[in-house]
Amino acid sequence: MAMSGLGGVIAGAVGKQIVSKLGEYAASEVSLQWRYREEVLELGEKMKDVEAVLGDADERSRRQGRQGGRVYERWLAKFKRVAYDVEDVLDELDANELISKTQSKVSFWFSRHNQLLQRVTMPHKMKKVMNKIDKIKEEGSSELNLVPREARGQGNRNNETFAANWNGDGIKTGMAGRVIEKEKIISLLLTSEEADRNISIIPVVGLGGIGKTTLVESVLADKRVNVFDVSVWVHVSKQFDLSKIGRAILKSLNSNINNLSDCTMQFLSDNLTKELATRRYLIVLDDLCEEDGNNLEELKMLQHGRKGSRIIVTTRNQSVVQCLRTGFLANQWKICPIPESEVINLDVLNPDDCWELMKQRAFGPGDDQSSLEEIGKQIAGKCGGLPLVANALGQVMSERKNVGAWEDIRDTKVDLGLRDQKETLERLMLSYYHMEPEFKMCFTYLATFPKGFVMHRNRLIQQWNALGYINSRHDGQRCINYLLGMSFLRIPGSTSVNPSPLHFKAPTKLVMHDLVHDLASIIVLDEFIDLDATKSASWNKARYCRHAQLTNFKNDPEVFKYIPGKLRSLQFRDLGGRQLPKKAFSRSKYIRVLDLSGHSANGQSAPSSVVLPSSINQLKLIRYLDATCLPITSLPKYFHALQNMETLILSNCFLETLPDSICRLTKLCYLDLSGSSGLGKLLASLGELSQLFFLNLSGCSILQQLPESICELTCLHHLDMSDCCALQKLPDKFGGLLKLSFLNLSGCSKLTKLPDNVSFPCLEHLNLSSCHELENLPIDFGHLQKLEFMNLSGCYKVPLLPVSFCNLII
C-alpha cells in the first residue's frame, strides 16, 4: 500500500471532527431551541454519507501515486473546505443563540446581531452549505465512483490515559544502544579540573532524529554530573541568534535580572562575565546549525567560566565542529572542542535496538508478545535506525495491539515527493498516518508555532479547545501525553542539575523536535501561512488558509485588507506594542484564537498605552484572546459581546480596573491577570463567572483584598496569588472552594492568617513560602488528604506543625 498525497490524512481528521460536532449539537438541548434543528439534522446525515467514502478516496489517492491520485486529492481538499464551512455555520448559530440570551431587547434590536438580520441571512447560509455538500457528494459517487470503506481496526485501546515516559525530574528517558556514548560523554565531563587548561566543547554529531538531544538529556539526568555549579540548556536551531542565546543563559544564571528582552549585547556580555567567572558551568547548545565561523566566534561571551567548565554542542553538521576548531578562541585555548578522535558521532541504531525502543512503548507488563513480535521486528526495519521514528511507531502500535493493525503499518509505503530529508520525513509520516484520529488535528496545529518555540501546556490546551479539536482539558492532557510518548513533543532540557522539589504530574512547558515540525508543516501546507506584512499584496493565494502568523507589522493599516477571511487562528509574532487600526479584524469574523502577545524582535520600545481595536467586538466566535505584555489600560466598551470567550490572558498589561461587564462572559473559564501591578481591586461580581476554573492574580502588587464573591467560584481548580504583597486577608468563606487543587500564596508578605474551617478536599499543591507575617495554619490543614506538595519556607512566625500534619510531605 503506497501513500503519496496528504489530502486524505488531514481531510479525514477534519471530517471526523465535524461529524462528531454535528452529532453533539443534534443531541443537545441547545439545538432544540434553534429554528434550524431539522436543517442541522439533515446536515449531519449528509456529512456522514460523504465521510463514509473518505477512506476510499484516500486509498485510491495513495495507491495511484502523485500523478494518478491528484483527482482524488482535489476532491479531498474540496471536502475539507466544505467541512470547515459547515462548522462555521454551526458556530454562528450557537453564537447567535447565546447573544440573543444575554443582550437586552433594546440593545439587541440595534446591534449588528439583529434578530431580523439573522432570520434573513442564516437560511441562505444553511442552503448554501447544503448545496456544497450535495455537489461534493454527487461528484464523489457519480464521477469518482467512491464507495464506503470500513475503518481500519483500532485494536486494544486505553481511552483513559496515554502514558508518556518521563522521570520525576521532568527529563525524557527511554534509550537503547547508546550506553557507550553516554558513558563517554560523562567521562569527558568529569575529567579532573586541575588537568584542564581550557573550557572544552564536547560535540555530539548525527542525523536529525537520531537521538542526540535524548542522549544529552540522559547525561544531565545522571547524578554523576552534579559536580557542576550550574547547568543551562539552550535550544539554538537554524537561526543563530546570539542575543537569544545570551539572554537564555543569563536568565538561568540570575532570575533577578529584569528587562532582558530589550538589553544590548554589551549588557549581556558584561553580566555573563560576572555570573560565569566564579562558576564551573555546563552549558548545552542544542541543535547548533551555524556554519559561519565569524558568528561562532561571538561565543567568546562564554569564555569566563572556571576551569573544568564544559559546553556540549549537538549538531547535524560536522562542518560546525570544524568551524569551532579553527577560530581564535580555539587557537588561544579559550574555548576548544575536544580532540577529533573523542567527538561523539552517533550512527543509526541497528534494527534490534529499534525494536527494543518500540517494545518499551508498544507493550505493557504481562502483554503477550508472541503473535506480534515477528511483525514488530519487520516494522523496526522501516525505522532507518532513527530513535525518533522508532519511538513514534512504538506509541502508535501500543494502541493497536493486533496482527491486522500491525500488518497495516508494516505494509504502508509513503512517498511525499520531497527532496530534503526525504526518507526521514516519510518514515515519520508513517507514524502520523496511523496516529489516533482524535489527536491528528491537535498535532498539525503545532506547525503554527515557530521552530524551537516553547509552548505552555495550559495555553496550548486552551487553544486546542477553542478550535474545537478537544472537548475537555482532560482530552488535552491525554493528547499531550500521547504526543510525548511518540516523541513528537518533548520536555525542554533541564536548566538545573539540582531540580526543584516541586514535581508536577505533567510538564508545564513543551517543545517540538525540528524534524517533527517539518512534518507538521508539510501536512498543513495549505492550512497555515506565514503572513509577512511587507508582502501583503500576495496573500490572496492564501484565501483557504485557516491559521496564520503575522510578522513584520509596520503600522500599515492596509495589511488587514489582505488577511484571509476564513482564518480561525491569528498569531502576531512581533507586534511590539504597536497600535492596531480600529477595523483590524472587521474581515476576520471566523477567528477563534487571537494571540497579540508577540514581542518586537528588534527591541523597539512600546508606546505608553495601546487600545484594543473596536473591531475585536465583531469576533463573535472568538474563544481565546492573549494580550500578554500589551500596554492596554482598559478593554473596549462592548467587550462583553464576545460571549464565546473562554480564555482571556491579560498578563503584564497596564490594567487599573476591569469593566463590570466582563462578568457577563458566561463561558469564561481561564482568566490570567498576572503582573497587573496597577490593579487595585477586583469586581464584586466576580462570582458570576460560574465556569471559571483557572485564575492567575500573581504579581497584582497593590491588590489588598479579594471580593467575597470569589468564594462562589465553585468550578475553580487553580488559583495563583503569588507576590500579591499588599494582600492582607482572605474572605471568611475562602475554604468553600471545594474543587481547588492548586493554591499559590507565596510572597503574600502581609498576610497574617488563613480562614478557619478550610477543608479543600481536592488540594494537591499549596505554596505559602515567604508569607513572613503568617502566624499559624488552620487545624483543618492536617486533613488535606490529597496534598502532594506544601512549601512553608520563609514563614518565620508559623509555630511547629500540629500533630495532624504528620502524614503530609513538606
Q: What is the pLDDT of residue 417?
A: 59
Q: In terms of Cα–Cα distance, which of 571, 612, 615 is closest to 589?
A: 615
CATH number where 697 lies: 3.80.10.10
Is the alpha carbon torsion for 798, 799, 800, 801 positive or negative?
Answer: negative
Neighbours of 675 (CB within 10 A): 22
19 has pLDDT over 80: no
Average pLDDT over the chain, rounded to whole? 79
Domain final residue pick, 311, 346, 381: 346
207 shares a domain with 87: no
Dist. CA 552–CA 566, nearest whole Å: 21
- pLDDT (tens digit, 9 = 90+) per residue, 615-640? 888 898 999 999 988 888 888 888 88
139 shares a domain with 286: no
Residues above pLDDT 90, as percent of the chain: 19
| HSE toward the beta carbon, residue 242, CA cutoff 13 A | 17
Q: Mean pLDDT, to the nearest integer, of 469-475?
A: 89
Displacement of CA 40 from its chain's centroid (Å): 33
Residue 746, judged by CB atoms within 10 A of its CB (0-12, 13-18, 19+), counts as: buried
338 shares a domain with 201: yes
User: Residue 770's domain spans which residues?
Assistant: 673-809
196 shares a domain with 139: no
207 has pLDDT over 90: no
Q: What is the pLDDT of residue 367?
A: 79
Domain final residue pick, 101, 125, 144: 144
Domain annotation covers residue 183: yes
Please list, residue by residue across 369-379, b when 16 or more beta carbons sit within 10 angstroms of its beta carbon and e when fewer do. Answer: eeebeebbbbb
Neighbours of 182 (CB within 10 A): 16
Q: Which whole-number Å values give the CA distances from 613 to 266, 591, 629, 662, in the listed order?
A: 38, 15, 16, 17
Domain annotation covers residue 588: no
Q: What is the pLDDT of residue 667?
A: 92
Query: Terminal CA-to-CA distance of the chain, rounded, Å?
Result: 57
340 has pLDDT over 70: yes
196 shares a domain with 93: no
336 shares a domain with 216: yes
Reduced to 3 states (helix: H, G, I; strand: E, B; else coil), residue 285 is: strand
138 shares a domain with 31: yes
Domain annotation covers residue 71: yes
Domain final residue pick, 311, 328, 346: 346
229 shares a domain with 316: yes
- pLDDT (tens digit, 9 = 90+) per residue, 487-516? 899 887 643 333 333 333 456 889 888 889
163 has pLDDT over 90: no
Q: Mean pLDDT, to the nearest integer, of 640-649?
A: 92
Domain annotation covers residue 156: no
Yes or no: say if 342 and 200 are a contact pair by the CB < 8 Å rule: no
CATH number where 277 lies: 3.40.50.300
Domain annotation covers residue 733: yes
335 shares a domain with 205: yes
785 shares a domain with 722: yes
Confidence of residue 442 (pLDDT cuts 50, 70, 90): very high
Domain annotation covers residue 166: no
Domain annotation covers residue 277: yes
Tell which wins on pLDDT, 366 or 26. Answer: 366
Dist. CA 520–CA 432, nearest whole Å: 9
Q: Mean pLDDT, to the nearest integer, of 770-775?
A: 91
Yes or no: say if 464 and 442 are a contact pair by the CB < 8 Å rule: yes
* Alpha-helical runs (H) found in 332-416: 351-362, 373-380, 387-398, 403-411
Dist. CA 756–CA 778, nearest whole Å: 6
Domain annotation covers residue 483: no
Is the alpha carbon torsion for 442, 446, 447, 448 positive or negative?
Answer: positive
130 shares a domain with 185: no
Q: What is the pLDDT of residue 240?
A: 82
Q: What is the pLDDT of residue 43?
A: 77
803 shares a domain with 737: yes
* Alpha-helical runs (H) found in 221-334: 242-253, 265-276, 293-296, 318-326, 328-331
Q: What is the pLDDT of residue 758?
A: 74
Q: What is the pLDDT of residue 258?
A: 67
Yes or no: say if 621 and 95 are a contact pair by the CB < 8 Å rule: yes
695 has pLDDT over 90: yes
Say how many domains are in the chain. Answer: 3
390 has pLDDT over 50: yes
Residue type at 91? Answer: D
| HSE toward the beta carbon, residue 328, CA cutoff 13 A | 8
Confidence of residue 91 (pLDDT cuts 50, 70, 90): confident
